[in-house]
Amino acid sequence: MVDKENAPEIPPELSVSATRLNRAKLEKVPWDHSGKHPGNRLFSGLLNLMFEFGNAAIFRHSENDPLPPVDGGVIYVSTHINGLVDPMVIMRIQKKRVISLGRHDLITRPFIGWWSRRFGAQPVLRRAEIEAGVVDVEFAKYINERGMLTAASCLAAGHSAVIMPEGKSHQDSRLHALRTGSPRAALAAAAIAEERNLPPPVIQTVGLHWKTHYWFRTDSYVEFGEAIEIPSVYSASDRAALASGTWVEPPREDTINLRQKMFDTLAPLTPDTPDWPTYRAQKLIANIEANNSEKPIQKLSEEVHSTREVRADMVDTKDPQLLDEATEAAEILHQNNLYADAISPSNELRGMSNNDRLRGILGTLLMIVTSPIAIPANIVLSSIAKYMAEEGDEGIDSRTTYFLLAGMFSPLLFWTPLVIISLLLLQGTALSTSDILPGLVGLFIVAESTLFFIHGYDLWNDFMTSRRRVKLSRSEDGKKLNLLLKSINTHLGALK
C-alpha cells in the first residue's frame, strides 16, 4: 500500500486550451449566492439524458452502488484519471441537482462551454494558471471565491456537487495531494446551512473503477465509500457573512485537517499502488484466487473488492516472488491488449471457442444490417472524437472524454436532423404537428440501430480478443505466461 504521507505533489501540465483565458465569458458565468441553482433546469434535464447516451456509447457494462441516503447537500469527491468521464458517471446517477466546479476553459469553450454555463458549472482558475502567467492573482481570487460561494450556497440548500479534489486530471495509480478548494467549500457550505437552519451537507467519497480506463467499451463501476461529516468551524458573525453572500475563508488548520480526513478516506478507494503494473498484478492474483475457489469473477465490482483484499494481504506476505511473477504475467497480457479475464477457470490462457466464432459472425451481421442508419447518424462526431483523441494534447484520459462527447451530442446534432431530412424526402412537403409521432418513431429507430451496431461491435471485438489470445498462446510469451500462472498458483497454495 502507498504511504499516504508522501502523496505526490505534481503540478498539472497545462494544455493549450488551459492557457487561453477568456475574462469576458468568465465574468458572465451565471452564479447565485442565495442557494438557488444557477443552471437552467431544462438544460440540466436534457444534459442528464445526454449523459445516458454517452455512457451507453463508451461503456459495455456500468455498475454503481446505491446512492447513500442523506437529507442535506452532498459533495462527491473522487480521484481524477479519466477526464470528463469522471464527473459524468457520478452525475448521471444523481437524484439531486448538481453544481460543479471545473477548469476555466471548459466553461468558456465555444461549444462545451455553452452547455457548461447552462448546466450551472462554476469556473476554477488553478495555481498552475497563475504561476504560468495565464491569469493574475486578483482576478483568479475573484472568480474562485465567487464560484466556491455559489457551490457552497447550493450545497447548503440541499443540492449536490461533484468536485475532483486533486485539482487536475492525471494518469497515476495513486491519489495525488488534494487541493484546499473542496474542504474550503465544504466548510463554508456547512456554515451556511447552520446559519439558515438547514440539514447539514456531507462529503461523500467515491471510488471510480474501470477495467482499463482508456479502453473504448470498457466496464465501469461507481463505488460509494464512507461519508465524512463536515465540522462547524466558523464564528456566528462569519456564518452570517457567508449566508449574506460574502466569502469568508475558514480557519486554515480546520481546512488542512478536513483535507487530510478526505485524503485518508478516499485513498483506499483508488488503486493505491506505486504503479499500474502493480495494480494489474493484484487484479490478476484476485482472478486466480477466485478461480481456485470455483467462483470466477463475473463483474467489475467483484474484482475491485477482491483486488482490495489482495492489496491488503500483500502488505504482510513473506513471498516477494509472488508479486514479481504476477506483475510479469499481467504485463504480458497487457502488452497483448488482453485483460485478466483472458485466464480460464483452470488458470491457463484461454483459447478460441465455438462461442467466440459465433460471436464474431453475429457481431459482423449486426453491424452490416444496422450500418445504413447507424453509420450516417454517428460517423461525423465519432471521426472527430478519434482524431482529437489521437492528435490532441490533453493526455490519454482525453480518449474516453472525446468519445463520451460524441455519444452525448450525436443524438442532438445528427440523429434529429437525419430524421427531419428523411421525413421531408419521404413526404416532399413541409413538416407539421402530425409529423411529431413519425419523428419520434424515427429517433427510436436511429437509437436502436446505434445500440445494435455497438452491440455487434462488442461481439466482433470478443472474437478479435480470442484471436489475440490464440496468437499469444502460440508465442514464447504465451508459453512463459502459462508457466508463470502455474508458479503463481503454487505460491498462492503455499500461503493458505
Mean pLDDT, to the nearest integer, of 38-57? 90
Report pLDDT for 464: 97
Report pLDDT for 210: 95
Report pLDDT for 390: 76
Q: Which residues of 276-306 are buried (b: 16+ CB within 10 A; e: fewer)?
A: bbbbbbbbbbbbbbbbbeeeebeebbbbbeb
pLDDT tier for residue 9 given thresholds of 50, 70 and 90: low
* Residue 343 reports pLDDT greater than 90: yes
pLDDT digits (tens, 9 = 90+) for 248-267: 999 999 999 999 999 999 99
pLDDT digits (tens, 9 = 90+) for 275-293: 999 999 999 999 999 999 8
pLDDT tier for residue 319 given thresholds of 50, 70 and 90: confident
pLDDT tier for residue 302 given thresholds of 50, 70 and 90: very high
What is the share, in percent, of the chain residues with pLDDT greater than 70? 95
* Residue 2 reports pLDDT greater than 50: no
d(CA 471, CA 461): 15
- Stated as kind and residue range, the H or E segment containing 160 is strand 160-163
pLDDT digits (tens, 9 = 90+) for 64-123: 999 999 999 999 999 999 988 999 999 999 889 998 888 888 888 877 788 888 888 898
Hey, what CATH topology would domain 4-269 get? Glycerol-3-phosphate (1)-acyltransferase (3.40.1130)
d(CA 317, CA 151): 45
All three cell numbers of 441, joined, read 418513431
Domain borders along the chain are 4-269, 276-347, 354-473
Average the pLDDT over each of 77-81, 295-299, 312-316, 443-447 and give the range with the smallest value: 312-316
Mean pLDDT, to the nearest integer, of 187-192? 96
Report pLDDT for 14: 65
Report pLDDT for 34: 92
Mean pLDDT, to the nearest integer, of 153-180? 92
Return mean pLDDT, the chain: 90
pLDDT tier for residue 12 given thresholds of 50, 70 and 90: low
pLDDT tier for residue 4 given thresholds of 50, 70 and 90: very low
pLDDT digits (tens, 9 = 90+) for 410-463: 998 999 999 988 888 888 777 777 778 988 999 999 999 999 999 999 999 999
* Residue 299 reports pLDDT greater than 60: yes
Report pLDDT for 428: 72
Report pLDDT for 3: 46
What is the share, in percent, of the chain residues with pLDDT greater than 90? 64
Comparing 491 with 452, which gets the higher pLDDT?
452
Comparing 319 with 36, which gets the higher pLDDT?
36
Report pLDDT for 11: 59
| SS3 labels along the chain | CCCHHHCCCCCCCCCCHHHCCCHHHHHHCCCCCCCCCCCCHHHHHHHHHHHHHHHHHHEEEEEECCCCCCCCCEEEECCCCCCCHHHHHHHCCCCCCEEEEEEHHHHHCCCHHHHHHHHCCEEECCHHHHHCCCCCHHHHHHHHHHHHHHHHHHHHCCCEEEECCCCCCCCCCCCCCCCCHHHHHHHHHHHHHHHCCCCCCEEEEEEEEECCCCCCCEEEEEEEEEEEECCCCCCHHHHHHHHCCCCCCCCHHHHHHHHHHHHHHHHHHCCCCCCHHHHHHHHHHHHHHHHHCCCCCCCHHHHHHHHHHHHHHHHHCCCHHHHHHHHHHHHHHHHCCCCHHHECCCCCECCCCHHHHHHHHHHHHHHHHHHHHHHHHHHHHHHHHHHHHHHCCCCCCHHHHHHHHHHHHHHHHHHHHHHHHHHHHHHCCCCCHHHHHHHHHHHHHHHHHHHHHHHHHHHHHHHHHHHHHHHHHCCHHHHHHHHHHHHHHHHHHHHC
Report pLDDT for 313: 87
Mean pLDDT, to the nearest integer, of 120-149? 87
The 8-class DSSP code of residue 343 comes to B
Q: What is the dihedral of CA 50, 52, 54, 57, to 10 degrees?
A: -140
* Residue 470 reports pLDDT greater than 60: yes
Query: DSSP labels for 222-254?
Result: EEEEEEEEPP--S-HHHHHHHHTT---PPPHHH
